[in-house]
Amino acid sequence: MAHLDDLVASLEQQFLDPYQLAIELPLKTEAFRESIGYINGLFCENYTLAGLDSAALTSLPDEFLPALMRGAAASVIKAVLQHHQVSYSNLNLDSNALAAWVRYLIQERDHLLDRLRIASLHAGSNTPWAAWKLEEHRSYE
């Protein structure tokens, strides 16, 4: 089962920031909160992540972790881009490239979630659609 600390460490390795020099821990925690909130809203579930919002156990299935990570990464990059846009910074950032990266990560997250949704429809016991038989009455009044 995934724990918030392990996922944050994975995100730090992804951004080459294991010492939290560029991106602070509260921003990463909020990114995971936003990402799992999006998944919960899309699937009408109440998945939890151990270590996030005082949850003791992770109820998010493991197959959702790649989508969760992509959503959290997109949230972090969006926050960095917003900070760059609203404050004076001497960092030489390419805003268009960062915005394109955010769009790519969001598109990839949505693609992964669509695949999971379709797989859940195929594996579900209830059929999402079926042929209905219309009961006609013989009366023409």
Mean pLDDT computed over every residue of the chain: 84
pLDDT of residue 97: 86
Give the list of residues 6+ apart from residue 100 with CB closer than 8 angstroms, or none.
Answer: none
CA distance linking residue 74 with residue 80, whole number of Å: 10
Domain tally, the chain: 1
Q: How many CB atoms lie within 10 A of CB 123?
A: 7
CA distance linking residue 72 with residue 31, whole number of Å: 5
Would you say residue 139 lies in a domain?
A: no
Would you say residue 140 lies in a domain?
A: no
pLDDT of residue 134: 74
Would you say residue 8 lies in a domain?
A: yes
3-state secondary structure of 80: helix
Q: How many CB atoms lie within 10 A of CB 73?
A: 23
3-state helix, strand, coil in the chain (%, to 5): 60, 0, 40
Return phi, psi of residue 50, to 5°. Answer: -60, 130
pLDDT of residue 110: 95
Would you say residue 117 lies in a domain?
A: yes
Would you say residue 71 lies in a domain?
A: yes
Model confidence pLDDT, tens digit, residues 87-124: 776 667 778 888 899 999 999 999 999 999 888 877 76
Q: What pTM did the predictor assign?
A: 0.79
Would you say residue 131 lies in a domain?
A: no
Look up residue 50 and give its DSSP letter.
B
3-state secondary structure of 44: coil
Model confidence pLDDT, tens digit, residues 50-90: 988 888 898 899 999 999 999 999 999 898 888 777 777 66
Would you say residue 128 lies in a domain?
A: no
Model confidence pLDDT, tens digit, residues 7-56: 888 888 888 766 565 778 888 899 999 999 999 999 888 999 998 888 88
Would you say residue 141 lies in a domain?
A: no
What is the span of the domain harbouring residue 33?
Answer: 4-123
Q: Tell me, what amino acid is at 68?
A: L
As given in the structure block, the two tokens for residue 54 are 């005082």
pLDDT of residue 115: 93
